[in-house]
Amino acid sequence: MSPPSLIDAHPNLSDAAPVALSYELFPPRSPAAAETLWTTIRELETTEPDYVSVTYGASGSNRDTAVELINRLLLETTLRPLAHLTCVGNSPEELAAIVGELLDTGVRGILALRGDLPKDASAPAAGSLRYAQDLIELIRRVEQRRSALLCAGKIAVGVAAYPARHPESPSEEHDVEVLLAKQRSGADFAITQVFFETRHYADLLTRARRAGVTIPIIPGVMPLTSLRRLNRLGQLTGVEPAPELMAKLAAADTDLERLHIGVDATVELANAALDAGAPGLHIYTFNEHQSALEVLDKLNLPRRSRPGNQHSRRESVARIQLAS
């Protein structure tokens, strides 16, 4: 699996380089949630994304469910899964076994993350990995041992990047130094955490390139349609959502009005990132497809030619508009 954002258009085939497209999904927590998720998966599949990332809870609390979802994606859909993997609290032996299991399943892309620190502030178990770059190096060692089984192929390893300062970081410059260390350890590409200001992605890109980061940095964009979700993410990331947007969402009379306000704000963020040179977009779907497809419809991204799928894409958008 090639790094998902390194897709270049042949100059003779298109005037605009295609934009890599990906989504984030998480394992369902109930049968009802599973039904909703699979409706979303089928809708998103019509857009033929380059990959979908599959996350799991803190400390791998629902890793088995995540692996089950990845298996189904590989067997029952055309989607390419990128498996989240965190290292905090896990030994190298445990993590090597998990990487091996993912590769045996058919996964060829891993998003290597540190993960959340224990809420009780307890020290990590002796010998456990503590940083994302340690996990990247472990993945590369497993890959080397399995190179024959992988037909000498390469695992695509992604990492996180932070447009605004990480809540545990002393500075934005330190965040870039960490990203550079991840690149040196073998990362192929980065996906940013959620950001709320149009300048954030461009500023990150400028800092990163000046520091020597050369890997693609893909903006992670969340449809900004839910007040509750925005407040929650603001608390988690330490970055306050734009007050003007929050006021507009709070003043909206209907869910449909909030949807349109949030989609317009998301499109503005995405366009600013693309104008700054973003090679793709990663959409945090929260297992919902409507707002994600609305955003894509307004962006009209340059994509690789997919003539066989245009009819299903139009039908999908039409269903959304009718439902609204």
CA distance 181 to 101: 26
pLDDT tens, residue by residue, 96-124: 999 999 999 999 999 999 887 666 556 66
CA distance 244 to 268: 14
Strands 189-192, 156-161: pairing kind: parallel
Q: What is the pLDDT of residue 149?
A: 84
Q: What is the pLDDT of residue 7?
A: 36
Task: Please report, rounded to a whole number, the percentage of residues in the chain having pLDDT higher than 70.
Answer: 83
pLDDT tens, residue by residue, 216-239: 999 999 999 999 999 888 887 778
Runs of H (alpha helix) within the chain: 31-45, 63-76, 92-105, 132-145, 172-185, 198-211, 227-237, 243-251, 255-275, 290-299, 310-323
Q: What is the pLDDT of residue 319?
A: 37
Residues annotated as catalytic are 24
Confidence of residue 15 (pLDDT cuts 50, 70, 90): low
Out of 109-118, 139-148, 177-186, 286-295, pick the least confident.
109-118
- What count of other Cβ atoms lies within 10 Å of the Cβ of residue 42? 14
Categorise residue 52: left if φ over 0, alpha if ψ from -120 to 50, beta otherwise. Answer: beta
Q: Check whether 69 has a pLDDT greater than 60.
A: yes
The mean pLDDT value of the chain amounts to: 85
Q: What is the mean pLDDT of residues 18-41?
A: 94
Q: What is the pLDDT of residue 68?
A: 93
pTM, entire model: 0.86
pLDDT tens, residue by residue, 275-289: 999 999 999 999 999
Q: What is the pLDDT of residue 161?
A: 97
Task: Please report, rounded to a whole number, the percentage of residues in the chain having pLDDT higher than 90.
Answer: 68
Q: What is the mean pLDDT of residues 143-155?
A: 88
Q: What is the mean pLDDT of residues 183-197?
A: 96
Return the DSSP state at 118. Answer: P
Q: What is the mean pLDDT of residues 279-305?
A: 89
